[in-house]
Amino acid sequence: MAVDPALPSEGYRLTVGPDGATITGGDEAGVFWGRQTLRQLLGPDAYRRAPIRPAPRTLPYPTIEDEPRFAWRGLLLDVARHFMPKDGVLRYLDLMAAHKLNVLHLHLTDDQGWRVEIRSRPRLTEVGAWRRRTRLGRGDPPVWDERPHGGFCTQDDLREIVAYAAARHITVVPEIEMPGHSQAAIAAYPELGNTDVVDTARLEVATGWGVSPHVLAPADQVPRFYEDVLTEVLEIFPSRFVHIGGDERPKDQWRASATAQARIRAEGLRDKAELQSWFIRHFDRWLAERGRRLIGWDEVLEGGLAEGAAVASWQGYAGGVMAARAGRDVVMCPMQEVYLDHWQAGGDDEPVPFGWVRTLRDVYRFEPGPPELAGTEHAARIIGAQADMWTEAADSQQRVDYRLFPRLAAFAEVAWSDLPAPDERDFENFRRRMDAAHYARLDAMGVAYRPLSGPLPGRRRPGIPGLPFAGPPRERSHP
């Protein structure tokens, strides 16, 4: 094991000869990814937590030189909608490492729960980490699980997650949502909400799904509050990027709020959309002053893009294309392609289905680079790709496994490899490699993946309806 700076960052050379295996990396990360490839050659038992038989004494004699296509190969884990305790997050870091993914985007706060301990604001977890009950699926009339749900990570839990990730050359990017997706925070601290429009003292942590109308108030105390929150977040997470959300904030409360209207006048803003930018610009500057960079969902483009902000393009490709042309870094995670909580086949027996049908083949054909940018100077602004795992309908690790796998393996190959154009990709070859080796590795790691033949009986959810097909994938309209 050695580092050779002549090799690319994260790249490696693996040679196997009579005297054993040698791995040389462009950096320590490259050596680590080379070790992951060696583990692949060792067979599925190498993925168990303890040896169950002697390791193979012979290996194929390859020389492999490899390097990633993208520097950001991400997985978003939504631990807000359903809380996933620390052990589950650590397990996904192991699974990410095995797939050479290197960014864990932790979605820590949302309407349905606040999952990070903030010492200066204890009610965020005393109140905001718990909800009274939970809507099951999206049926009408609603079905409820009447058990309270919740939990949160202590700061030391998160430090452990960050350290465990770092040992695997994975960066953890925290997401603290604002100004939308903030109902749990407002339930904990009613003064964060639009108190001149609604009685936020009566608000509870959201129990159902969809976009909550309860957004942060553009009042002086709110950015101060979030500065205190982010000060503690920065102490836990050393990542250069910090995600501040910025998506889906309905403007009805701002329209009705005298405070919001006064803010628009005082700051010379054009409209309510610019109130959103008022938050984003503030934290763009605030993070930059602390040596960090803001990343937000593509709505941060509305009403003027903050100076150094990077964009996670989720509504489709258009936001990412606009941002790249404006000289911003972009992570491609279009919901039509790589929201891995969505249907993975069209059968009636899919558990609590949702969104668009995205099969294993579809994900293998996901192309992060928009064709409009190919060959232009802006193409290099696409710094990576990310698969997003939202958990409205995935209330346990098994159910997260089911939605993520095997599709995350296809995504990982797309994010790492220089594959041909989507129509020319050899899915049958990928499928053969899955059958010949990779399902056995997933079995050895205890992954509750979806077999291509359909859900095993214990994975079905009869009586809990999801949402019908969303129709053919389409972009959301963009300013």
Question: What are the residues binding ligand ACM (CB under 6 A)?
Answer: 247-248, 297, 314, 335
**116 vs 101: CA distance, rounded Å:** 23
Contacts of 462 (CB under 8 A, 6+ apart): none
Strand partners, 339: 388
Active-site option among 82, 149, 181, 282: 181
Given the complex with ligand ACM, which of 314 and 430 has the nearer CB atom? 314
Least distance to ligand ACM, CB of residue 113, Å: 16
Least distance to ligand ACM, CB of residue 470, Å: 13
Active-site option among 110, 157, 350, 367: 110
Given the complex with ligand ACM, which of 78 and 401 has the nearer CB atom? 78
Given the complex with ligand ACM, which of 16 and 408 has the nearer CB atom? 408
Least distance to ligand ACM, CB of residue 299, Å: 8
Least distance to ligand ACM, CB of residue 315, Å: 8
Given the complex with ligand ACM, which of 314 and 343 has the nearer CB atom? 314
Give the residue closest to ligand ACM by C-beta. Answer: 247
Given the complex with ligand ACM, which of 248 and 443 has the nearer CB atom? 248
**126 vs 248: CA distance, rounded Å:** 26
* Strand pairing report for 310-313 and 330-332: parallel
Q: Which two tokens stand for residue 265?
A: 């006048």
How far the first Cα of the chain sits from its last, in Å, is: 50
Active-site option among 228, 248, 267, 302: 248
Strand partners, 310: 295
Given the complex with ligand ACM, which of 102 and 386 has the nearer CB atom? 386
Least distance to ligand ACM, CB of residue 36, Å: 29
Q: Would you list the DSSP string of 44-99? A: GGGGSSS-SSPPPS-----EEEE--S-SEEEEEEETTTS---HHHHHHHHHHHHHT
Residue 246 region by backbone torsions, left for phi larger than 0, else alpha for psi between -120 and 50, else beta: left
Distances (CA, A) of 297 to 18, 54, 81, 109, 277: 51, 48, 18, 14, 12
Residue 181: active-site member: yes
**69 vs 65: CA distance, rounded Å:** 13
Residue 248: active-site member: yes
* Strand pairing report for 241-245 and 171-178: parallel
Q: Which amino acid is at 157?
A: D
Q: Which amino acid is at 402?
A: Y
Given the complex with ligand ACM, which of 314 and 411 has the nearer CB atom? 314
Contact 296, 312 (CB under 8 A): yes
Least distance to ligand ACM, CB of residue 339, Å: 7
Distances (CA, A) of 384 to 47, 292, 308, 359, 387: 27, 18, 17, 21, 10
Contact 172, 240 (CB under 8 A): no
- By the 10 Å C-beta count (0-12 exposed, 13-18 middle, 19+ buried), 15 is classed as middle
Least distance to ligand ACM, CB of residue 336, Å: 11
**200 vs 195: CA distance, rounded Å:** 6
Q: Which residues are catalytic?
A: 110, 181, 248
